[in-house]
Amino acid sequence: MIAKVSSKGQVVVPKEIRKQMKIKAGTLFEFRQIDKKRLEITVIHDLIKELEGIYKGSGMLKELEREHKEEIERDELYSRRLGGRSMARKRKRVP
């Protein structure tokens, strides 16, 4: 199918394709340029579901936990050097 780009940069997705792919107003698309003449368009029905698990198995959580632990240790060392309390102390609850 061939479509024409409007002066506003818009392209109409043919009705048959919208129906088959369940494309409605507000549906998100991801565009990837394959080369100078080809474009890949992916329909994203639920962005959260599309991103779910994207970092699974990457070790990112362990890395963030390690960085957080190091940050707490640095803050406590800095606080001790200044003669103050730990910066990671518990805060009082407000009723």
Helix (H, G, I), strand (E, B) or coil at 67: helix
Q: Domain limits of the chain?
A: 15-47, 56-89
Which pLDDT tens digit goes with each residue over 21-43?
A: 989 898 889 999 999 999 999 99
Gap between the Cα atoms of 3 and 28, Å rounded: 19
In this prediction, residue 7 has a pLDDT band, given cuts at 50, 70 and 90, of very high
Q: Which pLDDT does position 36 carry in this prediction?
A: 95
Largest CA distance in the chain: 73
Residue 91 has pLDDT above 60, yes or no: no
Predicted pLDDT at 10? 94
pTM: 0.45
Report whether 39 contacts 30 (CB < 8 A). no
Residue 61 pLDDT level (bands cut at 50, 70, 90): confident
